[in-house]
Amino acid sequence: MTTPWYIAIVVAVIIVLALAFYAGRLLWQVKAQREKIAKQKAKAQAELSKKREERNAKLGDSINLLARAMKEKQCEYSEGCLRVWVLLSQYAFETERELQSEFQGVFKMYDEVKDMPTHDARKKYSKKEIFKMDSQRWKAEERLENEILIDCDKLISEFYPLPGQENVVFS
């Protein structure tokens, strides 16, 4: 072969080596970027999990406190069930659960009073209408008392108070 061919082959080899080096560098950058993204996702997932656990702990503490208050007759069943049901609906359970069947008494009481007005909304009604709603609520509390107390025991055993809150005394 002649000299121009040797020069062309050497130039071609240099170009191929340069392109191979560039491609390898790009592949290394993609790998590093994927690792960085995976680390960021893992960190975000861990933070999300931690926040979820903290939120669940606070919700569980509130549920436990309300259940103990209802059990000790320090909170009306209607108010307690209304609050507990809202907290249960916000609690992030590990698996999907059928809360209506697990806590039937609480749900029945919630269902009975959920549409009744509270606080300032009650002021729009006459005393007669308010007494009628209160009578309906009291009858439901009396009718569902045993089921609600059973549910309170379940709630107390499933949801724990935050550390330092387990000895809260109701007066």
Q: Answer whether residue 112 shows pLDDT above 80.
A: yes
- CA 47 distance to own-chain centroid: 14
171 found inside a domain: no
Rounded Cα distance, 163 and 93, in Å: 21
Tokens 């933070």 sit at which residue? 47
How confident is the prediction for the chain on average, in pLDDT? 90
151 found inside a domain: yes
72 found inside a domain: yes
Q: Answer whether residue 127 shows pLDDT above 90.
A: no
11 found inside a domain: yes
pLDDT band at 121 (very low <50, low <70, confident <90, very high): confident
Who contacts 146 (Cβ-Cβ below 8 Å, separation ≥6)? 105
Angle, nearest 10°, between helix axes 77-90 and 127-158? 50
The pLDDT, as a whole number, for residue 115 is 85
What's the rounded mean pLDDT across residues 113-140? 86
77 found inside a domain: yes
Angle, nearest 10°, between helix axes 3-71 and 77-90? 170
Q: Answer whether residue 166 shows pLDDT above 80.
A: no
Q: Please, are residues 132 and 122 in contact by the beta-carbon 8 Å criterion?
A: no
48 found inside a domain: yes
Name the residue range of residue 92's domain: 3-158
Instruction: Provide the domain count of the chain.
Output: 1
- Per-residue CA distances from 164 to 35, 62, 95 (Å): 41, 13, 28
Tokens 């729009």 sit at which residue? 124
Q: Please, are residues 91 and 59 in contact by the beta-carbon 8 Å criterion?
A: yes
Which residue in 58, 81, 86, 85 sits closest to 70, CA to CA?
81
94 found inside a domain: yes
